[in-house]
Amino acid sequence: MTCTWGSRETLTANYSLYYWYENSLPVVECKQYLQDQGVRVGCHFNDNEILQFQHFHVLVNASLSGRILQIPSKRMELQNLVKPEAPVNLTIHNMSGNQLELTWTSPYSKAHCLEHAVKYKSNKDTSWTEHRVKGEIFSFPSVDYEKYYTFYVRSKINSFCGNTQLWSEWSIPVVWGSNSTTKDMAEEQLHLFWIHTVLIPVASCLLLLILVVLLVRMERVWVILMPRIPNPSKKFDELFITHNGNFQEWVGVPKDIVESFKPNYSESICYVSELSPKDSCESIWESSNLSLPVLPGALAAPREHSPYNSSYMGM
């Protein structure tokens, strides 16, 4: 049995443990202390120092700077605090009629005070099956030779020797299965190996390659990812190729409206010239072969000399 009360980090002084059993004196100090870097952190009791079914008392104290430090404890029932070690030497025996027999041994000296639990599962099961056993033998009534079985065992003090729910740890597992089952499992493991190490990586690479090819070939994806600058010449192909640059015909203007905009009259060219004051009137009339009446006073009017002597042509 082991009693602990702290660790090197939490303790500032060396404590001493004293114990006694009710109605049994004297008080005895621990004979085998457990230490951590020179500090007492617990006490170990041998088998001859443990008395079950008697009230057990302990007192842990220390003296530090004139003060008494104590760790109080309650009265304990040792038979209710026993946690056995895990069973060992698990063995499976083949019996007649497709039966199995599982045996084991326990390090706990009082085997009659123990009860055991056996759990097992086949390679086809999804959950464990557990059975309570009083002795150290478990009989499996019927097995399937196409399955592979795994067994565990653990122990605890039974109700005749104590009142506790402290189970031991599960034992090291023992397995059973036929040669065909073992072969099937090996083939299954090999199959899973090829799936995880070959098939999945190759399939992933092929899928990635296909996605890359599709990404390259899909123009819509490229337009989304890398938009192109639009080419306006494509929008005017019909104007220049089909309609030869005729804008009214390309936009669909009716012919009658187009004809209405064409001029339906003609204008002659009129030559205008400016002559000297002396010959201006005579030259104009002679060139046009026209005779105009002479108004009274017209010849008597004074002529002004024009500073310009140039010719003009107008429409």
Question: Looking at residue 11, which CATH number applies to its domain?
Answer: 2.60.40.10
| 121 and 186 part of one domain | no
Domain boundary among 64, 80, 96: 80
* Domain enclosing residue 274, as ranges: 232-291+309-315
Q: Residue 59: which residues within 8 A CB-CB, separation 6 or more?
A: 17, 18, 19, 27, 70, 72, 73
Query: What is the b/e burial string over 191-209, where b = at least 16 CB atoms within 10 angstroms of the residue's CB?
Result: eeeeeeeeeeeeeeeeeee
pLDDT at 214: 77
pLDDT at 144: 84
Q: Any alpha helices (H) in the chain, and if so which ranges?
A: 179-194, 200-217, 219-225, 237, 247-251, 255-260, 280-288
Cis peptide before 26 (omega within 30 of 0): yes
Burial class (CB in 10 A: 0-12, 13-18, 19+), 296: exposed
Residue 296 belongs to some domain of the structure: no
Domain boundary among 156, 177, 198: 177
Q: Which of the residues in the chain have pLDDT under 50? A: 180-181, 285, 290-292, 294-315
Residue 187 belongs to some domain of the structure: yes
Contact 37, 8 (CB under 8 A): yes
Structure tokens at 18: 């004293």
Residue 283 belongs to some domain of the structure: yes
Residue 30 belongs to some domain of the structure: yes
Widest Cα–Cα separation across the chain: 177
pLDDT at 308: 44
Q: What is the pLDDT of residues 29-73, one digit of tens each?
A: 999 999 888 888 899 999 888 887 888 898 888 877 778 888 888
Contact 252, 242 (CB under 8 A): no
Please report which helix (H) or strand (E) contains residue 204, including its range: helix 200-217
Rounded-to-integer distance, Cα 124 and Cα 295, Å: 140
pLDDT at 37: 83
| 145 and 105 part of one domain | yes
Domain count within the chain:
4
Residue 244 belongs to some domain of the structure: yes
pLDDT at 303: 47
